[in-house]
A and B are shown apart, each in its own frame.
Chain A
C-alpha cells in the first residue's frame, strides 16, 4: 500500500485524512502542553495570583529543593509501587483460573464479570469505599467482633482504593497472555519431566512477565497522576496530584513545574518497561 501513497492522488487523499485529526491534536493538545511547559518558566504575582511573563527557572528549583515536595513525590511513588504489587498479586491467580482452568461459558462469564465494573465509573467506586471505610461503615462493623478497626481514611485506604480501581487493567493483559499460551508448550514441558513448579517458572512466567509489566503501566501511571482518591478517602494524605491541583489557580507556573515530576516518572517507567518488551503486548 505504501506504493500507492506515492501517487499524487493517494497523497492528496492521505493529506485530507490526516489533516483534521493532526490539526486538532497539535493545536488543542500539543499546543496546550507547550503552553503548560512555557508557563513553568513564568512567575506569579504574589498578590493577584496573575501569571507574570518573566522568564525564570525558580519554579523548577523550588520543586527540586523544597523538602515537602520531595516527601510527597516519594510517597506518591511508594503508593504507586504498592498499588502495582497488590494488583499483580490479586490478578495472577484470578487470570490464571480464568484462562487455564475455567472453560467455555464460565470463562466468558468471568471475563464479563471482571469487565463490567470498569463501566461503573471511577467516582462511584471511590465513593463506595468512602462509605465502607467510614466511621459507621461496613468495614468497621465487620471487624468489630474481633476487636479490630478498619484503616479509616488515610494512606492505607488510598492504596486499597487505587488497587481496587485499577485491578481490571492488570487482570486483562495477564489473562490474554495466559490464554494465548499454547497448551502443547505446557504438555511438552510435562513430557520432558518438569513438575508444576518448574513449568510455572520456565514456561508460564516468561509468558506472563511482559503482560504484568504492561498492566503495571496502567496501575503505576494512573496512581501517579491520581488526586481524587486521595481527596475522597485519603484523610490528610497528599499525593503529587493533590499538590498540583491545589496550586493551579494560586500559582500556575509552580503547578506546571510540579507536573513535570509525574510526567518524568511515567516517561522513565515507560522507557524501562519498553526495554523489557512490555509495550508490544499493550
Chain B
C-alpha cells in the first residue's frame, strides 16, 4: 500500500497531537508543583519551591510512602514465588486442567477491581476477623499479591517458551542434576524475566487504590490512599501536587529498566 505524502503527514500530525494530549496533563502537574498559587489557577503568576519543602516535611505522606514500599515489596516477593512456580508447572507439564489454572491466575485482574476489593473485604470480615486478624498491612499484602501473581506468571511463562528445551537436555546429557540445570542454565536465562516481572508487580502494587481501599482498614495508608484522601482538601492540594509530580518523574524508571532488560518485556506483559 502506497500512502500518499499527504496521508503520511496527516497521520504524523494526528500522532503528534495524540502524544501532546497524553503528556499535557502530566507536564501541567509538574509545572503546578511550582505554581505559587495554592489553588493552581491558570496561568501561574509566580513560581515557588515552597510546596516541595512542605511535602518533604509532611509526616502523613512519608508514612504513606513507607507503607506503600513495604506493601509493594511483600506482594512482589509472594508474587515472584507463586507466579514462577505456576509458570513452570503450566509450561513444563501437560496436565488436565492446565487452561483452568491459567484462567484462575488471570481472573483477579480480569474482574473489575471493585469486585476483587469487596470480595476480599467480605472474606476478611467473615473469616479473618473472628480469628483476631484485623485489617492492616497484612491484608493489603494478601490482596496485592493475589493480582500480582499474573504479572510474574506472564513474564516467566513468555521467557520459558523461548528458552530452547535442548539447552536443558544438553545440560542433563552433560551429567547435571535437575537442580544444577535449574541453577546454572534455566535460572540465568530467566533472570531478566524475573526482574521485569518483579518490577511490574511492584509498580502495579504501588499504584493500586481500589483493592487497597477495601483491604487496608482505618489505620493503614498507602501513598495512593493518602493522595486520594487529600485530593479534595484545598489545604493539602500543593502537597498532593508535589507527590503527583514526583510519581510522574519516577515513572520513567521502570520503563527505562524494562527497556534495558529485553525488548519483549518492555511493554509490560500486563
Chain A residues close to B by CB (< 8 Å): 1-2, 4-5, 10, 13-14, 17-18, 20-22, 24-26, 28-33, 35-36, 39, 51, 90, 93-94, 96-98, 100-102, 110-125, 127-132, 134, 136-138, 140-141, 164, 167, 169, 172, 186-187, 189-190, 196, 199-200, 203-204, 221-222, 224-228, 232, 241, 244-245, 248, 252, 255-256, 259, 262-263, 266, 270
Find B112's partner among A102, A110, A111, A262 (CB 8 Å cutoff): A262
We find that the number of chain B residues with CB closer than 8 angstroms to chain A is 88
- A residues less than 8 Å from B146 (CB atoms): 24-25, 28-29
- Is B94 interfacial (CB 8 A cutoff)? yes
B26 with A121: CB separation less than 8 A: no
Q: Are B42 and A141 in contact (CB under 8 A)?
A: yes
**B93 near A: Cβ within 8 Å?**
yes
**Within 8 Å CB of B244, what residues of A?**
121, 123-124, 127-128
CA of A244 to CA of B11, assembled, Å? 42
| Cβ-defined contact, B92 with A39, below 8 A | no
Please tell me which one of the listed residues A26, A122, A136, A196 contacts residue B41 in the complex, with CB atoms under 8 A apart. A136
User: CB within 8 A of A97: which of B12, B32, B228?
Assistant: B12
Q: Smallest CB–CB gap between A165 and chain B, Å?
A: 11
Name the contact of B251 in the complex, choosing from A28, A114, A116, A263 (C-beta under 8 A): A116
Q: Is the interface of A mostly helix, strand, loop or mixed?
A: helix
- What B residues does A189 contact at CB under 8 A? 1
Report Cα–Cα, A117/B203, bound state, in Å. Answer: 12
Q: At the interface, is chain B mostly helix, strand, loop or mixed? A: helix
The reply to whether A138 and B28 contact each other, CB–CB distance below 8 Å, is yes
Cα(A137)–Cα(B125), bound, Å = 42
B175 at the binding interface (Cβ < 8 Å): no
Nearest chain A residue, comparing its CB with the CB of B245: A124
Are the C-beta atoms of B25 and A129 separated by less than 8 Å? yes
* B115 A172 Cβ-Cβ under 8 A: no
Give A24 to B81 CA distance when docked, in angstroms: 11
> B113 at the A/B interface (Cβ < 8 Å)?
yes
16 pairs from A and B in contact (CB 8 Å cutoff): A14-B89, A18-B101, A31-B123, A36-B123, A101-B11, A112-B259, A120-B248, A121-B247, A124-B227, A124-B244, A132-B28, A140-B42, A196-B1, A221-B110, A225-B115, A245-B114
Chain B residue contacts of A137, Cβ below 8 A: 40, 42
The answer on a CB contact under 8 Å between B1 and A228 is no
Rounded to whole Å, the gap between the CB of B97 and the closest CB of chain A is 9
Q: Could you tell me which residues of chain B, from 19 to 61, have a CB within 8 Å of some CB in chain A?
A: 19, 21-23, 25-26, 28-29, 32, 39-43
Q: Are B89 and A17 in contact (CB under 8 A)?
A: yes
Kindly state the separation between the CA atoms of A111 and B22 in the bound complex, as whole angstroms: 13
Q: Select one of B28, B118, B206, B247 contacting A255, CB under 8 A.
A: B118
Q: Give the nearest-CB partner of B40 in chain A.
A: A131
Judge whether B140 is part of the interface by a CB distance below 8 angstroms: no
Instruction: Indicate if B187 sits at the interface (CB-CB under 8 A).
Output: no
Cβ proximity bits B247-261 to A, threshold 8 Å, 1 near / 0 not: 110011011000100
Asked if B112 and A10 make an inter-chain contact with CB atoms under 8 angstroms apart, the answer reads: no
Whether, in the assembled complex, B268 has its beta carbon less than 8 Å from a beta carbon of chain A, the answer is yes
Given the complex, which residues of A lie within 8 Å of B112, measured CB to CB?
221-222, 224-226, 241, 259, 262-263, 266
Report Cα–Cα, A164/B259, bound state, in Å.
24
- Please pick, from B42, B119, B210, B255, the residue contacting A115 in the complex, using a CB distance under 8 A: B255
Report the bound CA distance from A168 to B32 in whole Å: 24
Q: Enumerate the 7 nearest inter-chain pairs by beta-carbon distance, A residue then B residue, closest first.
A: A225-B112, A2-B94, A128-B25, A119-B251, A32-B123, A17-B89, A32-B119
In the bound complex, residues from chain B placing their C-beta under 8 Å from that of A118 are: 251, 268
CB of B111 closer than 8 Å to a CB of A: yes
**Is there contact, CB below 8 Å, between A138 and B42?**
yes
If A10-B93, A32-B119, A136-B41 are given as contacts, then 14 extra A-B residue pairs at C-beta distance below 8 Å, sorted by A number, are A5-B93, A20-B82, A21-B82, A25-B105, A28-B146, A112-B255, A127-B29, A138-B43, A190-B1, A196-B1, A200-B1, A226-B112, A262-B112, A263-B115
Complex interface: chain A residues within 8 A of B251 (CB): 116-121
Docked-complex contact A21 and B255, CB < 8 angstroms = no
| Choice from B11, B101, B115, B210 contacting A36 with Cβ under 8 Å | B115
What's the Cα separation between A113 and B126 when bound, in Å? 45
Given contacts A98-B15, A115-B267, contact A18 B85 (CB under 8 A): yes
A241 with B114: in contact, given A18-B86, A127-B244, A196-B2 (CB under 8 Å)?
A: yes
Contact B118 A244 (CB under 8 A): yes
> Judging by beta carbons under 8 Å apart, are A25 and B149 in contact?
yes
Q: Is B133 an interface residue (CB 8 A)?
A: no
Docked Cα-Cα span, A24 to B145, in Å, equals 10
Cross-interface CB contact of A35 among B40, B126, B210, cutoff 8 Å: B126
Residue B120 at the chain A interface, CB threshold 8 Å: yes
* Closest residue on chain B to residue A15 by CB atoms: B89
B216 contacts the other chain (CB 8 A): no
Residue of A nearest to B81 (CB): A20
Contacts of A33 in B (CB 8 A): 115, 119
Say yes or no: B26 contacts A120, CB within 8 Å.
yes
* Chain B proximity of A103: nearest CB distance (Å): 12
